[in-house]
Structure 1
Amino acid sequence: MRIAVDVMGGDRAPDEVLKGALLAREELGCEIVLVGPEAVVKGKGVQFVVAEDVVKMDDKPLEVLRKKNSSMHVGLQLLKDGSVDA
């Protein structure tokens, strides 16, 4: 199973999200695809997709829709395209 992980999602992102994703890879044996800014996702020893924009908690809905290169949008697009399973 291939799982996309938005490393910028969550209260303690990206550090805790990265730790959890890498732990899941080890414990569950699943394939992880990290989605987020290149400086955060590159060099972690797993496949990654660069998405430089980040959806912030105070973004208005229209702002979120306009961020086509956000980690959230890119991750959902990977799922829609069938590039990942979850």
Structure 2
Amino acid sequence: MDTKDKEIIDRSRAIAIQYLKETYDLDVTITREQMQPKMAMSWVTFYGYVSQHEEQSFNVSINYEENRAESFSFSPELEIFLLNEGSDPYKLE
């Protein structure tokens, strides 16, 4: 991985963590990232789970050119948790 890609991933990771914290008040553990081919899209997708709740898994894609979340997918367990907390997991903010 070159230096520029590492910088993109590091910045996008911080955006993903901040997005999940500010939008859903989640503390998360990132387990993996995948940078999409640059010719296709400007996204880095992060996979992980809510800290201390590995069954509440998710993936969130960050558009690194616009520095914002583009998509958010989640396990049924995380969906139930978010709905019970009064959050709308289907609305990207």
Please, what TM-score do these two structures have when normalized by structure 1? Answer: 0.29
The structure with the largest helix share of the pair is: 1
Please say which structure displays the higher CA radius of gyration: 2
